[in-house]
């Protein structure tokens, strides 16, 4: 029923609480992340936020987050990719064989591996997009195939260690150009720059929205929100600066998040992926090349899985046959915790990233507390379920 058509013309400034209530879906998971971090910070007597642990937290979750970015696009397009863990493992193995067994330089290995990932994703995407074979089946096959190929490539052995240059992918840090070292001034400067950039962009889009009279966010809420975000970023970079500075991986991640957020929000390709996932028939009849878009989405996923595989291998400094095992499940969970819809068309990059951090902080926090892997799984499963229920509940309430 659409009886409210004419009733909501009067736009009085809503109160902060009512605004928050009506936007619970947008902020719910961010609040959950903050609460979870606070809880573990308390339970672990402050270990969680120690610079060393914080650095580890980023290193440990970088590959999940990178894959979650690609997976978000796949899921928004209305598909799923079960093969990403195996593909990451396979690419890690390929990198190890090239670097260790054939002594190829990192500068060659990395691009080759990314292209291999792109081709793998493209191959799977080809069957899904042009032959209309369900993604679940194609990527389930891919998961088995690349798990097997990983084993074959490594001949059942672990291969390592990687040369120094390759390890930098994961364990490297941005050097302090100001030469102080500790605290790492570069990290601080970059943190402040990132925070100001975010605040600047938010203020600019708000002023535009105000100009068109389409802003319903209370001013106080806007100030508090951005202040908190800026403080959080600067505080995090300060913490990191007291250890070894910003990890390379963090920069890679930040750049990827920025690029893909822009892609989904502001480009025609992004818009069309959402349209395709929202209603494929309508998208097609609107002149959108849905097949090519699906194909590209999977090719992109393959490339990001390859990047994640490289980072993972570099972090362990060895490629093992088990690398990437079951990783796809964490990635998919992260995307759904972040508010994406199973039926496609809905989801945000930043949501997937927050989802991945929720999983990551829980893994990390529970490990510090010494909770066994058995109960960790149980709790993670329940969190996934709770997050999706929360999302569905808010959606129903909004109707």
Partner 1 sequence: MENIILEMRSITKTFPGVKALDAVNLKVRAGEIHALVGENGAGKSTLMKVLSGVYPHGSYEGDILFNDETVAFTGITDSEEKGIIIIHQELALVPLLSIAENLFLGNENVEGGVINWPKTYSRTQELLAKVGLKESPSTLVGQLGVGKQQLIEIAKALAKDVKLLILDEPTAALQENDSAKLLDLLLEFKAQGISSILITHKLNEISRVADSITVIRDGASVSTLDCHAQSISEADIIRDMVGRDMANRYPARKHPTQEGHLGKTLMEVSRWNVWHPDALDRQMIHDIEFNVHAGEIVGIAGLMGSGRTELAMSLFGQSYGKNIQGEVRLRGEIADLSTVPKAIKSGLAYVTEDRKELGLILEETIQTNTTLANLDRVSSNGVIDGNIERQVSEDYRQALNIRTPSVFQKVMNLSGGNQQKVVLSKWLYSQPDVLILDEPTRGIDVGAKFEIYSIINELADDGKGVVMISSEMPELLGMCDRIYVMNEGRFVGELDKADASQEKIMSMIVKA
Q: Give the Cα separation of 191 and 252 in Å (integer).
A: 14
Binding of residue 3 to partner 1 (CB under 8 A): yes
Interaction between residue 4 and partner 1 (CB under 8 A):
yes
With H, G, I as helix, E, B as strand and everything else as coil, classify residue 49.
Answer: coil
Region near partner 1 per CB under 8 A, out of 5-13, 40-48, 65-73, 133-141: 5-13
Q: φ and ψ at 20, to 5 degrees?
A: -65, -40
d(CA 361, CA 383): 12
Output 330 or 391, the one with its CB closest to partner 1. 391
Spatial distance between the Cα atoms of 278 and 77, rounded to a whole number of angstroms: 8
- Considering only residues 188-227, where is the footprint of partner 1 by CB under 8 A? 208, 212, 214
396 sits near partner 1 (criterion: CB under 8 A): no
For 139-156, letters b (16+ CB in 10 Å) and e give beebbebbbebbbebbee
102 binds partner 1 per the rule CB under 8 A? no
The answer to whether 384 contacts partner 1 (rule: CB under 8 A) is no
What whole-number distance in Å separates Cα of residue 248 and Cα of residue 254? Answer: 10
Query: Which residues between 340 and 379 bind partner 1 (CB under 8 A)?
Result: 341, 345-346
284's CB contacts (< 8 A; 6+ apart) are 290
Please identify which residue in 31, 108, 282, 342 interacts with partner 1, judged by CB under 8 A.
Answer: 282
Asked if 17 interacts with partner 1 (CB under 8 A), we say: no
Shortest approach of partner 1 to residue 119 CB, angstroms?
24
Residue 278 binding partner 1, by CB under 8 A? yes
CB crowding 203-237: b at 16 or more within 10 Å, else e: eeeeeeeeeeeebebbeebbeebbeeebeebbebb
From candidates 274, 329, 367, 388, binder to partner 1 by CB under 8 A: 274
Among candidate residues 380, 360, 383, 372, the one with its CA nearest the CA of residue 63: 360
The span from the CA of 169 to the CA of 1, in Å, is 54
| By CB under 8 A, residue 12 contacts partner 1 | no
> What is the torsion angle, in degrees rounded to the nearest 10, for the CA atoms of residue 349, residue 366, residue 170 and residue 125?
-40
Least distance (Å) between residue 378 CB and partner 1: 33
* Smallest distance from partner 1 to CB 306, Å: 24
User: According to CB under 8 A, which one of 225, 284, 368, 371 is a site residue for partner 1?
Assistant: 284
Residue 267 lies near partner 1 (rule: CB under 8 A)? yes
Please state the closest distance from residue 262 (CB atom) to partner 1, in A: 8
Instruction: Give the closest residue to 69 by CA, choosing from 277, 304, 361.
Output: 304
Name which position in 101, 157, 286, 377 contacts partner 1 (CB under 8 A).
286
Please report, as ranges, the residues that interact with partner 1 according to CB under 8 A. 1-9, 11, 208, 212, 214, 266-269, 271-272, 274-275, 278-279, 281-289, 341, 345-346
């Amino acid at each position: 029923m659409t009886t409210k058509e004419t009733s909501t013309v009067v736009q009085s400034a809503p109160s902060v609480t009512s605004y928050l209530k009506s936007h619970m879906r947008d902020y719910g998971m961010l609040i959950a992340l903050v609460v979870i971090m606070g809880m573990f910070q308390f339970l672990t007597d402050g270990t969680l936020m120690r610079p060393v642990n914080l650095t580890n937290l980023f290193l440990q979750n970088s590959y999940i987050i990178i894959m979650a970015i690609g997976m978000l696009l796949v899921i928004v397009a209305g598909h799923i990719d079960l093969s990403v863990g195996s593909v990451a493992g396979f690419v890690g193995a390929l990198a190890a064989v090239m670097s260790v067994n054939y002594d190829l330089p990192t500068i060659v290995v990395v691009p080759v591996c990314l292209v291999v990932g792109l081709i793998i994703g493209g191959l799977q995407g080809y069957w899904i997009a042009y032959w209309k074979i369900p993604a679940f089946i194609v990527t389930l096959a891919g998961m088995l195939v690349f798990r097997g190929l990983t084993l074959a490539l490594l001949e059942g052995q672990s291969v390592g260690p990687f040369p120094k240059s390759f390890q930098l992918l994961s364990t490297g840090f941005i050097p302090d150009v100001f030469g102080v070292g500790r605290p790492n001034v570069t990290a601080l400067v970059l943190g402040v720059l990132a925070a100001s950039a975010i605040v600047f962009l938010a203020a600019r889009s708000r002023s535009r929205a105000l100009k068109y009279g389409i802003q319903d966010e209370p001013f106080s809420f806007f100030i508090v929100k951005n202040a908190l975000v800026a403080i959080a970023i600067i505080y995090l970079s300060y913490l990191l600066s007291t250890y070894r500075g910003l990890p390379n991986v963090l920069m890679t991640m930040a750049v990827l998040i920025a690029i893909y957020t822009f892609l989904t929000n502001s480009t025609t390709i992004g818009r069309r992926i959402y349209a395709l996932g929202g209603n494929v028939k309508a998208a097609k009849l609107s002149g959108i090349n849905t097949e090519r878009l699906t194909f590209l989405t999977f090719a992109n996923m393959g490339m990001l899985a390859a990047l994640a595989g490289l980072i993972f291998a570099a972090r362990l400094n060895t490629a093992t046959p088990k690398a990437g095992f079951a990783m796809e499940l964490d990635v998919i969970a992260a995307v759904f915790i972040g508010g994406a819809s199973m039926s496609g068309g809905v989801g945000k990059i930043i949501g997937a990233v927050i989802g991945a951090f929720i999983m990551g902080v829980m893994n990390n926090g529970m490990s510090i507390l010494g909770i066994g892997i058995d109960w960790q799984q149980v709790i993670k499963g329940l969190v996934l379920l709770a997050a999706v229920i929360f999302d569905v509940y808010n959606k129903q309430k909004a109707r």
